[in-house]
Amino acid sequence: MREFHLLSKVYERSAALDARVIVPPGDDMAMVRFDGADVLAAVDQIVQGRHFTLESTPLALIGRKAVTRNLSDIAAMAARPLASLAAVVLPRSWSEAQALELFEAMRTTAARYECPLVGGDISIADAPLMCSVTVLARLGPRGPILRSGAKVGDAVYVSGTLGGSVEPDGRGRHLTFEPRIDLALALAERFDLHAMIDISDGLGRDAGHIAQMSRVQIILDADRVPCSPACNWRRAMSDGEDYELCFTLAADARVPVELCGAAITRIGVVREQRGNQPCVIVREGRREIDATQLGWEHGGSGEGQPPSRPSPAEPGEGGRA
């Protein structure tokens, strides 16, 4: 069973939702309208052995990541945090002290980003640790920035550096990243953002979500992709768990090279979709390489393994699928 194939089936069956659903499943957050107000909502989970290794990861960082990866979805919509809820499955072998340490990490992280933890649920079972967090948000300065708004001729940008977010022992930047909420709000205030997504599954796949939903093709330049140390562009586009922003806007916009403490790099362009060509192509010299499979998908060959990223396949073979 493949994650994105399953999700596509879910989206198909969600086509006729209530008129109060303004943004349906398929974006970083859903949006519901009631009594003249719009509320954004998203839920995500982390699972022991998939998103972290309990043996090598402090509980404080596990609780932090459970919250911040959802805050990254709020950033992707250029929205403002409102509140959060958490549902946690605790291993039966855990002590009360361990449970309270995890809760305190989630509570303090949520409070720091003005997204207070207001409720949730606890289960105790003979199972791995699982933390599911739901976040609510209110609209930012330009309303929700969707994945579907990219326009032909747009420039494509990313924040920060990409790749190498998970170290061999399971630690790394995926546990300590800063959700780009302030950056997203600043961009929305200064520019007419057309489309945006946070990079969790790898730039190749996540840029592909923008391209598919906008019905365009995205062309990226390999030598412009901002790579973390010891990463080439293939790893930078494949590793995932970066939680940086990828966004598009008019090519003549004067975007600074740094904003809110984050580097901003122009890496490509949006053009018309051409026949059956891939929706994301990387240009390396004179070669054009299909990048749509460069990224992470649950259901791949490493299902059930610790959260390490394999080296991506060679050009034309795709990455982890």
What pLDDT shows up at residue 196?
98
Task: Check whether 321 has a pLDDT greater than 50.
Answer: no
Tens of pLDDT, residue by residue over 44-84, are 999 998 889 898 899 999 999 999 999 999 999 999 999 99
What pLDDT shows up at residue 102?
97
Query: CATH assignment of 147-290?
Result: 3.90.650.10
Tens of pLDDT, residue by residue over 235-291, are 999 988 999 999 999 999 999 999 999 999 999 999 999 888 889 999 999 899 998
Lowest mean pLDDT among 17-21, 27-31, 179-183: 17-21
What pLDDT shows up at residue 318?
31
- Mean pLDDT of the region 290-295: 82
**Of 168-172, 186-190, 228-232, which has the strongest mean pLDDT?**
186-190
Across the chain, what does the average pLDDT equal?
A: 88
H-run or E-run covering 98: helix 96-112
Task: Check whether 307 has a pLDDT greater than 60.
Answer: no
| Long-range pairs of 36-40 with CB within 8 A, sequence gap ≥ 24 | 38/138, 38/139, 39/82, 39/136, 39/137, 39/138, 40/74, 40/77, 40/79, 40/136, 40/137, 40/138, 40/139, 40/144
CA atoms within 13 A on the CB side of 64: 13
Please state, in angstroms and rounded to a whole number, the distance separating the CA atoms of residues 277 and 228: 29
Instruction: Name the residue ranges covered by the structural domains of the chain.
Output: 3-138, 147-290
DSSP-assigned states of every residue in 227-281: BPTT--HHHHHHS----EEEEEE-TT----SEETTEEEEEEEEEEE--TT--SEE
In the beta sheet, which residues pair with residue 239? Answer: none
Tens of pLDDT, residue by residue over 178-212, are 999 999 999 999 999 999 999 999 999 999 999 99
What pLDDT shows up at residue 230?
86
Tens of pLDDT, residue by residue over 220-229, are 999 999 999 9
pLDDT band at 15 (very low <50, low <70, confident <90, very high): low
Task: Check whether 13 has a pLDDT greater than 70.
Answer: no
pLDDT band at 309 (very low <50, low <70, confident <90, very high): very low
State CA 98 to chain mean position distance: 28
pLDDT band at 168 (very low <50, low <70, confident <90, very high): confident
Q: What is the pTM of this model?
A: 0.88
Looking at domain 3-138, its CATH architecture is 2-Layer Sandwich (3.30)
Q: Do domains 3-138 and 147-290 have the same CATH topology?
A: no
What pLDDT shows up at residue 51?
87
